């Protein structure tokens, strides 16, 4: 039995969250109950970012990953340089995995559609 690395755990969490985003209709996401203020604020920020035409998909993907990881680990890490490096690495790993990249692209498309 092999040990699961921290990156593997992050990928599992992200995969689960991305699947939840894809499976939940965009119209229902805006009306989610406020489980925590952090989640609502993070999702609202993502929607606002998705509404900006000049924002590239890569930037929106990274913002999504940052939102999910800060929700999981806590928002106090957002200003830490090492945390930002982790976000960059995780985003790169997800981009290189064909299935996860496709899932991430679907979530970005849904975010853009919901923002319009």
Higher pLDDT, 8 or 55: 55
For the chain, the maximum distance between any two Cα atoms, rounded to a whole number of angstroms, is 47
Indicate the pTM of the whole model: 0.68
What are the residue boundaries of the structural domains of the chain, listed by start? 6-115
What are 29-88's pLDDT values in tens digits? 444 444 444 445 677 788 888 888 888 999 999 999 998 888 888 889 999 999 999 999
């Amino acid at each position: 039995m092999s040990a699961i690395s921290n990156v593997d755990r992050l990928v599992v969490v992200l995969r689960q969250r991305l699947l939840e985003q894809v499976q939940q209709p965009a119209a229902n996401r805006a009306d989610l109950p406020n489980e925590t203020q952090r989640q609502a604020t993070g999702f609202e920020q993502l929607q606002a970012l998705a509404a900006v035409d000049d924002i590239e998909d890569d930037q929106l993907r990274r913002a999504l990953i940052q939102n999910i990881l800060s929700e999981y680990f806590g928002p106090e890490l957002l200003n830490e340089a090492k945390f930002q490096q982790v976000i960059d690495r995780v985003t790169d790993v997800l981009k290189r995995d064909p299935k996860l990249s496709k899932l991430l692209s679907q979530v970005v498309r849904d975010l853009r559609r919901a923002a319009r």
